Each structure stands twice: as C-alpha cells, then as structure tokens.
Amino acid sequence: MAADPLAWLVSLEGVPSAYAATRDGIDVMLRDRGLRRTTPEHTGESLLRGAHASAVLDGSTSTLAQVRAGEGDEVAADAVRVSVELLALVPVLQRSPLQALARIHALAGRGALPDERLGRPRDAESAARLRDIAAVITAETTAPALLVAGAVHGELATAAPFASHNGIVARAVERLVLVARGVDEKSLVVPEAGHLALRPQYESNLRGYATGGAAGMHSWLLYCAEAFAAGAEASPLRRDAE
C-alpha cells in the first residue's frame, strides 16, 4: 500500500480536535436544516456566494447584489464562470484530478490568457507540483476530509502553478474536495465566505504556509478549521438571501 501522505498532519497539536469540532458543527447544521429538503436553489445560492467571496479575495470590488444581477466586474465574472460548472467536475476530480484542475483554470482564465496557456502549468516545476497535489486529492488517508481540502487549498494557492487565477482555482478545488469526499455533497457550506470573513488571518496564514515550513502548515490547518466553521455559518441554510 502507498504511504499516507497526510498522516503526519493528523498528529499535530490541536488539529484532530479542531477538525472534529468543525465537522460536527457542519453535520449538525446540515441535519438540523433538513438536508433532504434542500433545493437546487440552495446549492446555487451557496455557489454564488462562494464565487463573490472568492472574487473579492482576488481583488474584485463588486457587491454580492451586483454579482447576483450579472453586473460584477471582470474578476467576479471569472469566479462565477467557475462556479457554474464546478459541481459537474466532481467525478472528474475523483477520476482524473489533473484534468479537473486544468478545466477549473481554463474557466477562470478565459479571456485573460491566450488559449494555449489555459489549464497549463507555468513550467516543469509547476507541473510537478500539480502532480503532487493531484496525488493528495485522490490519496487514501486517515486525515479528515476537511483537512484534505484545506491542505490542497494551501498547496495550490502557494505553489501558484498556473499563470493566473491561482487563488480562485485553489478555493474552487477546496469546495470540490468537500463535495467529493462527502462532507457537503450538496455544496451548501460556503468556505470562500469563511475565508473572506477571516481575511487578515487567511492572508497571513497563507504567507506562513508558503514560508514557514511545518510550523506554517500547522498554523494554516488550524486556521482552516476555523474558516470552515465560518463557511458553515455563511450557508444559505443559515441566512436569508442577501
């Protein structure tokens, strides 16, 4: 059997309890709000909120109301384009994660890059990093699914393997992992909004992840547990449409 690439993360101080508490909170939210009675509109609203939050984190100045009306700026339009096709990529992510990553970038970068650069890694080193990330996405692991999603997000955001839109890609893949690994099959949690609500911590912990070695990764994972809890609070099951 292949070695578990994330096993060592599960033993980091505070990580198991943080993720167990966050998963319990998500499960309670989904159960108490009647997961079986949710509609495609709930999922659509979650994806829209996520696209808006992800765009703001990438520099968009559009409001959620503008994005909902189709009047968002270019960055918002890029994020919405990803969100429209994202859930259709769940089986692709499970079967061929590199193909899913390429498609997400192609959607996000359309119009910003020449067609031949869409979905393509920047260089040989970036291609190798993408292969490593793809292996993590499909690996059998004892790590909680939420942790897998957070680790993949951190890797994509800091490796920046594509020529543009790496943040939007990283946050989209994080959401997709939550769906594919059964945490949130109807994609009702809004992890992107959790990151936006904690933006200073999000940005500082990503910097730490990029430069801080094991300590930076530890801090990032503890932060992600908090952000996922905030993303559950941002679910359309918890809030009326804005």
Cα angle 171, 164, 98 (rounded to 5 degrees) comes to 60
- Alpha carbon distance 141, 224 (integer Å): 18
Within 10 angstroms of residue 20's Cβ, the number of other Cβ atoms is 13
- Alpha carbon distance 94, 85 (integer Å): 16
- Alpha carbon distance 149, 137 (integer Å): 8
pLDDT in tens, the chain (242 residues): 568 999 999 999 999 999 999 999 999 988 875 555 788 999 999 999 999 999 999 999 999 999 999 999 999 999 999 999 999 999 999 999 999 999 999 999 999 999 999 999 999 999 999 999 999 999 999 999 999 999 999 999 999 999 999 999 999 999 999 999 999 999 999 999 999 999 999 999 999 999 989 999 999 999 999 999 999 999 998 864 33
pTM, two decimal places: 0.95
> Tokens representing 146?
């939420």
CATH no. of 7-233: 1.10.3290.10
Domain boundaries of the chain, sorted by first residue: 7-233
Contact 217, 154 (CB under 8 A): yes
Measured CA distances, 211 to 32, 76, 91, 217, 221 (Å): 40, 29, 33, 9, 15
- Alpha carbon distance 123, 146 (integer Å): 29
Q: Token pair 């094991």 is at which residue? A: 214
Measured CA distances, 177 to 13, 36, 130, 155, 161 (Å): 24, 21, 15, 13, 18
Cα angle 228, 226, 190 (rounded to 5 degrees) comes to 25
pLDDT of residue 241: 34
pLDDT of residue 238: 81
> Tokens representing 151?
């680790």
Contact 75, 58 (CB under 8 A): yes
Q: In 3D, which of 84, 49, 21 has the Cα closest to residue 237?
A: 49
